[in-house]
Structure 1
């Protein structure tokens, strides 16, 4: 299952992404964390305490990723003809979660018990000539070509705010958890996300964060209604972890907050993957990009990259 964490900057979405990923890993479930935020702090939230993470960023290796994933697909003439939305077809190289392949071997590094991939930072060389969502193309291509199964999890810490809608990446998930503080600013992103998600049938659920009492909880219920799934209370454990002095792992996280993580996993597991819908969204956004800019940029009719005979899901592996 594929899970995205979104929210206003400072809402705690990176912290929640890390907590949930560690919760899954602690249970023994196969899980991969991906840092897709312009501020790359997920490794730190997972417990990495060194200056540098030796993980080649996806965003810096897009040509190689495209070359690998296009495989022998006859509809994709070259890696230059492949854009971030190009969907898989017959001949494409499909991936199993954390499989024994070149892409995972190059880009995955472990932080504690959690395998992690990163998109890479937005640096000075990008200023004025690129947008961060071009780096996220590696994540979109990865998810488009991933055939993950039941009980397997990909958790992506997304960009803050409504920037998550700047590409079709927001349709690549089985559920999106929106982290909201009990403030008017905290729920403003929720309203934007709710309206866009409904248009495409994307499942969202709100996680209240930094809740300090009944007034905070009542505010969230009034603002988001039935979309409020659960909430986390103010956490001395999280603060200690952020200061590098938490001990005992998740076993010592506050009981209410541990229970909230359990609710998140139960919610994820309650809805099986809809492979046709996932692929339909991929094709739709590919055609949108082709018409908007990519046909002109490549000089090709990129609609021809859509393989009408391709059947998404586990059967594609055979």
Structure 2
């Protein structure tokens, strides 16, 4: 199952992404964390100890051409890597990947951090200023998700870019479950209303996780603002504060471990709809083709859609 964490900057979505991925990994299930935020801090959150080894695996964006060549495989509808854009959906002949499979992409780009396999999209740096938007960095992971054949009992956890930018591309429609992290303030829930409307349009499951909650007043505010979409809450955590300082003390509080288990229960209860994920991929590809990609490539990219392709079921573990 593919899980996205979204929220405004500073809401704690990176922290919760890391806590959730670590709890899954410690339970023994296959899990892959993906840092898709413009500020690449998921590695630090997964291993907050002072002096933790640096993350050295190359970012996905640095090898986009190679990733395109791998994923297009023998698909006759994609003539070259140049003709393959971030929304190009798989078709007959495309290379479909298993989560953490024995392939070039996972071998090159995955590094274990804090006991969790991690991939990063790549930071937005000075060389990009004025010539690119951050969503160009997300092209590789968008292609990866479109070509991913994740199976039962497997989890991909992605820390998305903050605020409304999370749905500035079709990437937001590539997940089985989306958790919106909200602090108990008006600014904290502002992104919720925007994301809720987009999620409803595409029938994307969305649940709100209250964060940094200090008492009943905070919970009451969140319930009044988001209603039944409030799934659970994470209390203001001394453990998280000590971890953010590089010296985590003890272990995460029991009430917060329980909240993480509630999140997993919501993910596990969600049926996998592989056909819907593929329909979303095709929809956003056709929309991007019309708006910019046809002109950029000099081709009619609608022809890349294979009408006879059906995503196969994932083999059981």
The 1:316/1:298 distance shift into structure 2, 3 A limit, reads farther
Structure 1 stretch 239-248 or stretch 119-128: which is displaced more? 239-248
| CA displacement 1:52-72 (0-9 Å, x = unmatched) | 411100111111110111001
| CA displacement 1:194-240 (0-9 Å, x = unmatched) | 01111111110000000001100000000000000000111001111
Contact 2:149–2:314 (8 Å) recurs in 1: no
Q: 2:89 aligns to what?
A: 87
Contact 1:33–1:155 (8 Å) recurs in 2: yes
Q: Please, which of 183, 186, 202 is the counterpart of residue 200 of structure 1?
A: 202
Contact 1:310–1:316 (8 Å) recurs in 2: no
**SS of equivalent residue, structure 1 residue 156:** strand
Q: Please, which of 155, 177, 189 is the counterpart of residue 175 of structure 1?
A: 177
**How far 1:187 sits from its partner (Å)?**
0.3
Q: 1:273 aligns to what?
A: 272
CA distance in 2, matches of 1:75, 1:127: 34
Q: Please, which of 123, 126, 151 is the counterpart of residue 124 of structure 1?
A: 126
Q: 2:292 aligns to what?
A: 293
The 1:213/1:82 distance shift into structure 2, 3 A limit, reads same
**How far 1:315 sits from its partner (Å)?**
6.5
CA distance in 1, matches of 2:40, 2:277: 27
CA distance in 2, matches of 1:51, 1:270: 36
| CA displacement 1:9-40 (0-9 Å, x = unmatched) | 00000000000000100000100000000000
**How far 1:50 sits from its partner (Å)?**
4.4
CA RMSD of superposed structures (Å): 1.3
**How far 1:112 sits from its partner (Å)?**
2.1
CA distance in 2, matches of 1:202, 1:311: 20
**How far 1:316 sits from its partner (Å)?**
9.8
**SS of equivalent residue, structure 2 residue 77:** coil
**How far 1:81 sits from its partner (Å)?**
0.2
**SS of equivalent residue, structure 1 residue 265:** helix
| CA displacement 1:104-141 (0-9 Å, x = unmatched) | 00000010210000011100000000000000011100
Establish whether residue 145 from structure 1 lines up as the match of residue 144 from structure 2. Answer: no
Q: 1:31 aligns to what?
A: 31
**How far 1:51 sits from its partner (Å)?**
7.2
**How far 1:314 sits from its partner (Å)?**
2.2
Q: Please, which of 30, 53, 56 is the counterpart of residue 54 of structure 1?
A: 56
Q: Please, which of 208, 219, 222 is the counterpart of residue 221 of structure 2?
A: 219
The normalised TM-score by structure 2 is 0.97
Q: 2:18 aligns to what?
A: 18
CA distance in 1, matches of 2:113, 2:192: 30
The normalised TM-score by structure 1 is 0.97
CA distance in 1, matches of 2:22, 2:53: 21
Structure 1 stretch 43-52 or stretch 283-292: which is displaced more? 43-52
